Amino acid sequence: MHYRLANLLGAASLAVTDLVLAGATGTGRVSASGAAALVVLSHAPGLGVTELGRRVGLTQSAAARMVDGLQTSGLVRRRSGGGRAVQVLLTLEGEEAARAMLAARDAPLAGVLDVLDGAEREALTGLLAKLLARLYEEIGDSDVICRLCDRGCCTSGGVCPVGQAERDAGRA
């Protein structure tokens, strides 16, 4: 077993998570699930409450309460989707908040990566792609893994490793 490596990965993962969440939640003044919901809706507008909850890791009832809070804050609105279906959409303020959260998330991460030179960054990119593909095998849900991702950034000039793992598994 690679105890030291696993320990270092765990510590780095938690520190990076703390940086990402602090940037996203502080800028949007929302919870971690609220921040994820805004980012998800910026890429997939019109999701239902249940599906939105699934993508951010909440039960339907918790997702409904989260959407209520986001609606009260003026960040989302509900729209009838036909029948009993209700779609959740970002307001203009919600769209701005999602963009600001992604930018706030990116700044500290870029600062962390500044310690690496170009070759190290390239090597880390390949290693992270491999780890993310493995994590997809474990978690099995690209929407959950990528809930706070800037999807355009990940697919510009490359292939998203999580999306590729999903296609390879025949789930896309």
pLDDT in tens, the chain (172 residues): 678 998 998 999 999 989 888 877 877 688 999 999 999 999 999 999 999 999 999 999 999 999 999 999 999 999 987 778 889 999 999 999 999 988 888 888 899 999 999 999 999 999 999 999 999 999 999 999 988 888 888 778 778 899 999 999 987 6
Residues 93 and 149 in one domain: no
Q: Which of 77, 99, 115 is the last residue of a domain?
A: 115
Residues 12 and 41 in one domain: yes
CATH number at residue 99: 1.10.10.10
Residues 37 and 98 in one domain: yes
Residues 104 and 145 in one domain: no
Residue 6 burial (CB < 10 Å; 0-12/13-18/19+)? exposed
Domain with 81, as residue range(s), is: 1-115
Total-model pTM: 0.83
